[in-house]
Amino acid sequence: MNTAITTVLAFLVTVGVLVVFHELGHYLAARLCNVKILKFSVGFGRVLWSRKRGPDQTEWALALIPLGGYVKMADEREGDVLPADVERAFNRQNVWRRIFIVMAGPAANFLLAIFFFWVLFVVGFPGDKPVLGPPAKGTPAALAGIVDGDTIVAIGEDSVQTWSEVNLRILQEAVNRNRVAVEIESPGGRRGTRTLDLTTTDAGDFDQTLLPKVGLRPYVPHTRAVLGPVSPNRPAARAGLQEGDLIVAVNETPVPTWVEFTAIVRANADKPLKLEVERRGTRFNVNATPEADGKGKSRIGLLGVAAGDELKREMERTRTRVSYDPLTAIPKAAYKVWDLSIFSLKMLGRMITGEVSWKNLSGPITIADYAGQSAQAGWITFLSFLAFVSVSLGVLNLLPIPLLDGGHLVYYFAEIVKGSPVSERTMEIGQRVGLALLLGLTFFAFYNDINRLFTG
């Protein structure tokens, strides 16, 4: 399927599933409290489709702008309410019922994320073992004594089995500027503890480059540059290269490993390369020009050839699959959601104080891009993406910003403390402040999205 179509469809599925469950939380809680529901909308703006259903003739609608949704309840502050429905109006409910209804939306997102993670833990998800390559000189990993071939077994008190777990844990510790104990296992099976000093990380470090900056990078097999299958009508095939050929040198520079060979190819898009090739004991030279793929910083060169079996066997040794039995997976999934929620709040706090760059804030364009990439990677990766975004949506809606669920909760807790509802004037001012804050966040998110499009 076309990449653009996949991205659009994956984004619509993401928004649709997460928004529907969020609003369904509000809807079900309101029904339990016997509040009359006038409308359940997925999306904003012009209505594309709607039907009225149920004893209250609730309008179920699909709107043009797929960036959210809402549940509209009978409320005397927002419009006329029929005399027969006055006691069922939202504003007539006691404060605890209102808190319950508002909390139900974010709670639905957290429960959905727990379910997604539970499915992933039961089915099992593939990953790469955190086997380390040589750390760059001067990095925290090098200073800690980590060497090529070490495997990370635990970070702090948490065991880790994959690189994705390592990435999240290191990110969490870096946000807190901690010195963290890392348990490693050497290639010979010996275990020891190394201390990573993450106290010097700065606001610009919290992105995909964090691990390399720390000095943690995946182990790279030292296998020769032996070619695997050669794709027809691609540069390698046009140059006469065949499966089993050994690349000895590029532009008269020796390339002892596959990784060094591919690094040169990727860095030389549309530039002719002189390849020294060995085939069944005979050496000869060919010229090949890697074709360009991608744009900007993502632009790389490709020859259209896969790695040989030697590298594949070596890489297979670093692959693993993480899974748990159904009962064990429940607390694992719940802890995962809790852990991600706390981490998200800490990241937001660090953004506000300037300790973490606002460049880490993503908008709908970036989310759509990630949705498309994860969907193309397979349903397990896409389900994991949905779980992460569902947690983020739950946390975002609990922020104490008027117009969000968290802002309403602030009003209700203030009502409990003072013994009476917050004044209409206070709520009006709060809504204006909340709107300004949300517009500001939206601006930053879109700016970051557009900046990523042009800079890669």
Compute how many other C-beta atoms are within 10 angstroms of the C-beta atom of residue 402: 22
Longest dimension (CA), the chain: 94
pLDDT in tens, 310-355: 888 877 788 888 899 999 999 999 999 999 999 888 888 877 776 6
| Distance from C-alpha of 80 to C-alpha of 307, rounded to nearest angstrom | 70
Domain ranges of the chain: 3-123+376-433, 129-217, 227-307
Banded model confidence at residue 28, pLDDT cuts 50, 70, 90: very high
pLDDT in tens, 56-68: 899 999 998 888 8
Catalytic residue among 23, 157, 314, 415: 23
Banded model confidence at residue 205, pLDDT cuts 50, 70, 90: low
Mean pLDDT of the chain: 88
What tokens were used for 221? 């097999």
pLDDT in tens, 369-411: 888 888 888 899 899 999 999 999 999 999 998 889 999 999 9
Question: Is 297 a residue whose pLDDT tops 70?
Answer: no
Q: What is the pTM of this model?
A: 0.80
pLDDT in tens, 124-152: 988 889 999 889 898 899 999 989 889 99
Active site residue 23: yes
What share of the chain has pLDDT > 70, as a percent? 95
pLDDT of residue 128: 87
The CATH number of 227-307 is 2.30.42.10
Average pLDDT estimate for 110-121: 96
Long-range contacts for 158-165 (Cβ within 8 Å, ≥24 apart)?
A: 160/130, 161/127, 161/129, 161/130, 161/320, 161/322, 162/127, 162/128, 162/129, 162/130, 162/320, 162/322, 163/127, 163/128, 163/129, 163/130, 163/218, 164/127, 165/127, 165/130
pLDDT of residue 116: 96
Q: Matching CATH topology for 129-217 and 227-307?
A: yes
pLDDT of residue 402: 86
Decide if domain 129-217 falls under CATH 3.40.605.10: no
pLDDT of residue 235: 93
pLDDT of residue 440: 82
